[in-house]
A and B are shown apart, each in its own frame.
Chain A
Amino acid sequence: MGIEDTVNTSLAKERPRKRSGNRGFWLTAILSLLVHAGIGAAALYAQPKRQTIDLNRAIPVQLVKLGKKRDPKLLPRIYEPPPPPKDEGVALAKEEKSQPTPKDERKKSKDELSDAAKRMLDSDRRLDEALRRVTPDDPEGDPSGSEFGTTTDTTNAAAGYVAEIGRALQSNYRLPEAIPASQRKFLKARVLLYIEPNGKIREFAFVEEHPNQLFMSALDSLLKTVQLPAPPAAEAKRFQNDGVEVVFRP
């Protein structure tokens, strides 16, 4: 019996549009939860009958990231503004030094104020800061949460471990910007990983390479530096001898 989860596939296609955080986002989130529940139910149903559910087992659930809706007629805002420009470009003419910056002025005038006035200013500033902290600029929610919300199914220890490998590789899957846009969609490599019981990668071997050297050397350094957790003891042998196959793709 094979179940192909087509609902999830169609969701994936719609993802880019949903990032703007509109009503469709909620639709996706709800559908996603339903689908996950469905998969979970299917998995449980298919388990051998004698297996019991361990109520003490923790089920990690990440929070769904929430955000305040922005009027779609308004221009978008950046929530993480780019860092301010570097002061020095090449051969920039020097700015006139005599001009005091506004910040200096404020400091100076503050020094001349009475203590009471300073206290008032300080409390004003604190209020400002407090207000700034709650300005609706930042989307609310758990910063470590996934934009789509996740659940992790740990009904099977090996499955959980494979998922952990996947996460570790995924979060370190960085490629040089220098790879031309025209080649990016054709990048593909397959590699076998053999993992020691302590989680160290004992060996890796490419079974399919890509001619782009920037791509291959990025994978090389990824596999040399990535930290994997130790596999579950019962499965350690399998991961050491059979290994896992990883396909890197665009």
Chain B
Amino acid sequence: MQVTRIQTPLTLALLCTFLVSGGAEAQTPPGTRAVIEIGNPDFRPYPIATADVRDANSPNSVPAQAMTKAMRYDFEISPVFKLLDPKSYLANQAKEGMTAASIKFSDWLSVGAEGLVKGTIEQSGGEMKVDLRLFDVASGREQLKKSYKGPATEDEARTIGHRFANEVVFFLTGTKGVFTTRVAAVKKTKTGRELWTISVDGASRSQVTKNGSINLLPAWSRNGKSLLFTSYIKHNPNLYSVPLGGGALKLISGERGLNTGGSMSPDGRKVALTLSRDGNSEIYVMNADGSGLQRLTNEWAIDSSPSWSPDGKRIAFVSARWGDPHIFVMNSDGSGVRRITERGNYNQTPDWSPRGDLIAFTARDERNKFDIFTVNPDTKEIKRLTQDQGDNEEPSFSPDGNHIVFTSKRNKKSQVFIMATDGTHQTQLTADGGFSTPAWSPYLD
């Protein structure tokens, strides 16, 4: 990178030894022009403008507003984009059409947009037809066009907005957007704890359990159709699975003592969990139907909270075997145990990124504050994502690995927040409080 070559004769040479942080390099063969190398680009979010979606019948109908809001929210929370402030838009949106030819791109260029999203709705008989497009502002070309149909409701409009935002992300980055995924979380009730799922924009929620007991630690099945969780419904804290479309609970593990932290392997065939049936908290693996139980750890201290690596070959977990709880990694057969966190003294709740390169966890720092960190399981490098904003706990990665959901007590009550994996774009999803152990779903469509 920082190679400096000195060519002779020096009177002709262009000597360059600057070591600016990016690192540029210059070399000049004798008598020719200088060559400068510029590397280490500073990756910046893609500036995108999102025009108001227009409803042919009434320009700012409820579905049109919901759709605009949904897409703007998605670009706002995404670290890949910088949503340009709609108040700054210069274009005459009422006049401008949907085709590249009818758009005055210079108006969008001058507000700094590189991408432009536009959309129209046509309602008839309670149904709507939606046309959404992405333009490249610099070249004035249409890049993406999608049509949708559905009932002309606010909910449907929001969903369509999120689906198109997913398409935009996929078009630009090659990775599917996560805006139609959901977060499962536990919410306190008067009598116990119930499971809910919440959309990524916080706008829609649905209650999963209503049994009045204590229901804890939801984890998604790999197909996104059911949740694994621990419930006291039969007094002993057993592991159950509940279908999200409604249906009966299925007992997965009913060993005496705790049956917690159920976590499905990436191929969906196995479940890792923590049991205390042998008199101590240890990690076990079994088949997804509960058969073939196999013990992985054997320590006097607590071992808990297993989380699979995306290739299914390793499992991250918490162990207090060296005194304080720390994040450890082992092979999925229990061999090769390795401590990963060498800083801090109270590290818990590992969640392995779907990209494989990071494990997010909760740690208590020297000021006794809980915050979210990531650690690279190979280099053990630790990065801090939250700080100075109350206690922040229980991280869980989005299926693209770009976001993390967590709970924060920064506004007293424990709320669900999401953020980008670098700690930016922190956004609150709930306002009523009492939430814990959020878990981000896999892709649901």
Contacts and interface: CB of A to CB of B under 8 A. Distances in A.
**Touch between A and B in complex, CB under 8 Å?**
yes
A150 B73 contact: no
B20 A12 contact: no
A100 interface: no
B424 A82 contact: yes
A242 B33 contact: yes
Interface string B15-57: 1111111111110100011111111111111100000000000
A5 B4 contact: yes
How big is chain B's contact interface, by range? 35 or more
A167 B21 CA distance: 10
Given A46-B8, A89-B428, A245-B35, A5 B3 contact: yes
Given A11-B2, A90-B201, A158-B14, A169 B24 contact: yes
A163 B19 contact: no
A93 to B, nearest CB: 4
B294 interface: no
A81 interface: yes
Given A91-B202, A245-B34, A39 B427 contact: no
A220 to B, nearest CB: 7
A155 B365 CA distance: 50
A77 B423 CA distance: 12
Contacts of B338: none
A12 B34 contact: no
A166 B6 contact: no
A243 B9 CA distance: 20
A43 to B, nearest CB: 6
Given A5-B4, A179-B43, A152 B18 contact: yes
B174 A182 contact: yes
Contacts of B131: none
Given A90-B201, A217-B136, A242-B32, A5 B5 contact: yes
A176 to B, nearest CB: 4
B222 interface: no
A179 B43 CA distance: 8
What is the predominant secondary structure among interface residues of chain B facing chain A? loop
B103 interface: no
Interface in A139-182: 146-153, 155-156, 158-159, 162-163, 165-167, 169-171, 173-180, 182
B287 to A, nearest CB: 34
B360 to A, nearest CB: 14
Nearest to A190: B35
Nearest to A176: B46
Contacts of B69: 90
**Which one of A78, A89, A93 has the greatest number of beta carbons of chain B within 10 Å?**
A89
Interface stretch (A67-75, A109-117, A121-129, A196-204): A67-75
Given A92-B202, A162-B36, 12 more contacts: A3-B5, A15-B2, A42-B6, A72-B343, A89-B201, A152-B18, A162-B16, A166-B20, A170-B38, A244-B36, A246-B36, A248-B41
14 contacts: A4-B3, A4-B5, A75-B344, A78-B384, A90-B69, A91-B201, A92-B429, A152-B17, A163-B17, A166-B25, A169-B24, A170-B20, A174-B44, A245-B36
